[in-house]
Chains A and B, each alone.
Chain A
Amino acid sequence: MNLFASKDDVIRWLGELLKEHVVIAPVRVQEQTTFQPISQVEDVVFDFNNTALSPKGWFLPPTETLFSVQRDDGKVELVPTKVERDAVIFGLHPCDARGIALMDSPFLQEPSDALYRERRSRTALIGLACRQAQPECFCTSMGSAPDDPSNVDILLTEGEDGYIVQAVTEKGKALLPKGLAEYKGKVPAPPKLEAVPTKEVVSAMRELFNDPYWEQVADRCLHCNICAYVCPTCYCFDMRDYADKGKVERVRSWESCQSPGFSLTAGGYDPRTTKGERLRQRFCHKLLYFPEQFQDVACVGCGRCVRDCPVNIDIREVISNLKQVTEAKSGS
């Protein structure tokens, strides 16, 4: 059963949620929209294109302390970071919600990542269906849709004079404000998106692993980390210790397979030394290794990498090219 909430209802509701939860929502920072814990509901942006960074950072923060090392009289104790409060992420587009669902596969696989698991179980996701698609969007080719409710607890869809509210999970139902009226009208149709030929992509990746194509595309790659850091499903990380003024901590930070030294061992061995090998690693992880390990392709079609790559390495074009090269090879 769908419910209806006016924008004022939603704002009041967020105000209520803010009393007991950390609320992470899209806000404007300079010219960009980005997810941040809010201190006041007025800052929340309702109408936005995909945010600068995806909300994955709530579960896998750019930087976090895994544990701190406490020494007392020579005795060492490791104190793991605790998740203090329940949280709500408000306003995720369905692609971003799918990104979180995909990250669950590696992080919740046993032995699960304790901090990720804890944050995940204590965070509710309130999605916002997309009424408009951007030219870089291709979620429908990547297992989701602008109105996909499957990875959120509650989905809001903007209708006339307010929002149509769909409680998807029990967790979502428990979070709903009381007194919302039933909505019997039509739910507006989602925008149509152009299709990307993803059907045979996993087998094409395998087939073209040694194809010169990768060195060709990588020619223009700068090997920065933009694509990985804006991506809702890239999850590589690094861990190092910090020892500062007697305080010792083990820190985890984002890292990307495009970084120099990413796969270089202390002994000086690096399995990937060419630009093509490094760029191929990123696409292989998304379109081959991840699906072979966890079924799904590790891309949600949010278009952020398309939008932000300084040299226009466009994953949709790569997928199409793979198809063309495979077809050319098989002579069909």
Chain B
Amino acid sequence: MDKELIQQIRDKARNLLKEGTVEGVIGYERASDDLTSRPLFAYSPSDTERLIFDETCAHNLVKYLLDKKGKKIAVVVKPCDSRAINLLLNEGQIERDNVFIIGVGCPGMVETNWNHKSETLQAKCRTCQLFKPVVYDFLAGGEIERQAEEETYSDITEEEAKSVATRREFWLEQFGRCIRCYACRQVCPGCYCPVCFAERLDPLWVGIRIAPEENDMWQTIRSFHLAGRCIGCNECERVCPVDIPLSLLNRKLEKDVKELFAFQAGLDPEEAPPFATFKKEEVMEFEK
């Protein structure tokens, strides 16, 4: 644990609350296992003593800003999380003036489960190229020097080389385990439809069965709704209770969008995701 970094976060949070700049600060505290971490909502200066930051603080806290619309809130964000802020700003879901961003340089997050902390960095952190938040009001701990350890899309390229039948078989098996708990949706900062298509009855998009066909439908539409919008925090995969490798889907779409539109979500609050805009020069081949 970087004590100085934590002190900076606590000091900032305490002052923001004391001065009344914000109503609350969303950060991290130690979890009940005394080993990993969990989100903390600090509303009084004394609460800020519980704030921590270390390599177990995987949660993307930006999601919670959607619950606090219209309130002045400070939030601790890692570089990948910060892209969610730009996404939500671009999509008009949050107001910049209402959010105070306490950015942190990121040492990379390790794989954790309750009461388990691995030495291994999460896969997303092994390929991460972003070590400083893309947007912040205060940067705690200063900038971090790191190198990406792996090529970003090596696993995706590997998947792409497989036959359609092989991939289909793989995904049906994976989705066969899905229990439709919707943790992937609930944790995702890009999933905020007032009524999710999965709950919509009229028209009915996907039935209530927890079965391969419906799960397939659910997961396919979920990932497509995030094409060009997924900011790569990989929270969906982390929270999945049946370990479905959702990042393979999300990053395949991310890679395609990057190649087709030279776009990555959340890097610039002014630039809308490709499927939310239309540019004249984007003439599709079938129109030629």
Contact = CB atoms under 8 A, between A and B. Distances in A.
> So, do A and B actually touch in the complex, CB under 8 Å?
yes
B162 interface: no
B210 A254 contact: yes
Contact of B67 (A136, A275, A316): A275
Nearest to B61: A220
Interface stretch (A15-23, A88-96, A170-178, A305-313): A305-313
B187 A308 contact: no
Interface string B169-189: 000000001011111011100
A224 B238 CA distance: 13
Interface stretch (B33-41, B101-109, B247-255, B269-277): B33-41
B243 interface: yes
B182 A225 contact: yes
Interface string A204-238: 00000000000010011011111011100000001
A242 B32 contact: no
Contacts of A245: none
A63 B31 contact: no
A135 B115 contact: yes
Most B CB contacts (10 A, CB to CB) among A254, A275, A312 go to: A312
A251 B186 contact: no
Nearest to B211: A63
A141 to B, nearest CB: 15
A16 B187 CA distance: 46
B39 A225 contact: no
Interface stretch (A27-35, A102-110, A151-159, A323-331): A27-35
A253 interface: yes
Most B CB contacts (10 A, CB to CB) among A31, A222, A224, A256 go to: A222
Contacts, number: 110
Nearest to B39: A220
Interface residues of A, number: 43
A308 B241 contact: yes
Given A52-B241, A224-B187, A251-B209, A308 B39 contact: no
A240 B208 contact: yes
B242 interface: yes
Nearest to A135: B115
B161 interface: no
A32 B38 CA distance: 23
B183 A31 contact: no
Contact of B183 (A135, A225, A255): A225
A310 B208 contact: no
Contacts of A113: none
Interface string A285-322: 00000000000000000000011111110101100000
Contact of A253 (B39, B183, B209, B238): B209
A224 B186 contact: yes
User: B interface, how many residues as a size bin?
Assistant: 35 or more
B5 interface: no
Interface in A120-169: 135-136
Contacts of B199: 259-261
A229 B179 contact: yes
Contacts of A114: none
Nearest to A316: B32
B209 A226 contact: no
B113 A240 contact: no
A203 B14 CA distance: 37
B23 to A, nearest CB: 12
A62 interface: yes
A53 interface: yes
B239 A224 contact: yes
14 contacts: A53-B179, A62-B179, A62-B210, A63-B211, A135-B33, A224-B181, A225-B179, A242-B207, A251-B207, A260-B199, A306-B114, A310-B235, A310-B239, A311-B38
Interface of B: 31-33, 36, 38-41, 59, 63-64, 67, 113-115, 177, 179-183, 185-187, 195-196, 199, 207-211, 235, 238-239, 241-243
Given A63-B210, A251-B207, A312-B31, 6 more contacts: A53-B179, A223-B186, A253-B208, A307-B114, A309-B114, A310-B238
Q: Which 6 A-B pairs have the closest CB atoms?
A: A224-B183, A312-B38, A310-B239, A62-B210, A225-B181, A222-B186
